[in-house]
Amino acid sequence: MSQALALAERGRGRTSPNPMVGAVVVDGEGVVVGRGLHHVAGGPHAEVYALQDAGERARGSTLYCTLEPCCHTGKTGPCAPLVVRAGIARAVIAVGDPNPLVAGRGLAHLRAHGVDVTVGVLAHAAERLNGPFFTVIRRRRPLVTLKVALSLDRKVAAGPGQRTPLTGAAANRLIHRDRAEVDAIAVGSGTVRADDPLLTARGAFRARPLTRVVFDRSLRTPPAARLLSTLEAGPVIFVCTALPDPDRRLRREALRAAGAIVEVVDAAGGQFLEEALSRMVARGVTSLVLEGGPTVHRAAWQAGVVDRLQVFTTPRRLGPEGVPWLAESELRLADLVDVRIVRLGEDLMTEGYVHGTG
């Protein structure tokens, strides 16, 4: 199963909105005779490649698969009947598929045709691997990673409205690699006005367009913002509230004329972000990195829509004039689970999940 998970990982950044899936076929002597992974959304599933690779050697063998084989016809045919026809004697599945179109039906099909089925091997790792897929189905929104760069004294900028680069070259390379693998990056309007960022993935290969989202309740972003000059990299979506305001209507039309998409959300408070994120699912967004500053971070944290944190801590201090991030009393890194800490040059990256799987 570890091999199957490693194979699935190779599809990162290419399979969304589908899950990453790996499959391995092992014969009765314990020899791997087939391997496969889901390469791209709309393409053949991992089981198809693994069974093709195994050929006749699949008969009587064991299939290890990171996700329950599907049993419905979508862009590709169902995999569970294919597993049966290949003569697989035993199927070891990491985790069931939460998609209502599958949800146990694939397992039931295998069992009904005499395949010995085991479920739950390395299930936690398999769920983490496909966190975006599981989050969309269970919470009806993308998996949200809150990303922030902090000084040693927990500040995000040298002063209000100031752009203060904090991370070094190694951390920046990782940040852009991560941007190349997620579906969307989001910021608040304050970040756009203060930093005028491009919000692109630079120096890293990206298989598909990158969606950029700006949470801008009052549409204060000027149409001349730099990210609107990079529409070839992917769509730019502004999310605002539905309050009647003639000036806002003019600003909305100006942003649309500049090529932006404007989503109007009729909700306030924490529901604004919840509704905005649910709208992103309809646009194919299953994973979203929330960059930006303390205002949008606090709103997301208080709304309970943050699933994962990625914190880059630099060795410098910004002092009392610096702009503070969320206080330790609001958000404690010590409360994260499945934590990973990595040194990147002089910076320290801490990443972990807000809650367990399930």
Residues carrying an active site annotation: 47
Please enumerate in sequence order all residues whose Cβ is within 8 A of that of 172, keeping only pairs 6 or more positions apart, or say none.
none
Cβ atoms of residues 301 and 331 within 8 Å: yes
Tell me if residue 281 falls in helix, strand or coil: helix
Residue the block writes with tokens 């093709």? 52
Strands 22-26 and 62-65: antiparallel
∠ Cα 273 278 284 (to 5°): 130
Describe the strand order of the beta sheet including 211-215 as a list of residue ranges. 261-265, 236-241, 211-215, 184-188, 287-290, 143-150, 308-313, 347-353, 337-344
Strand order in the sheet with 32-37: 32-37, 22-26, 62-65, 90-93, 116-119
- H or E segment at 313? strand 308-313
- Rounded-to-integer distance, Cα 138 and Cα 132, Å: 10
Beta bridge partners of residue 236, listed in sequence order: 212
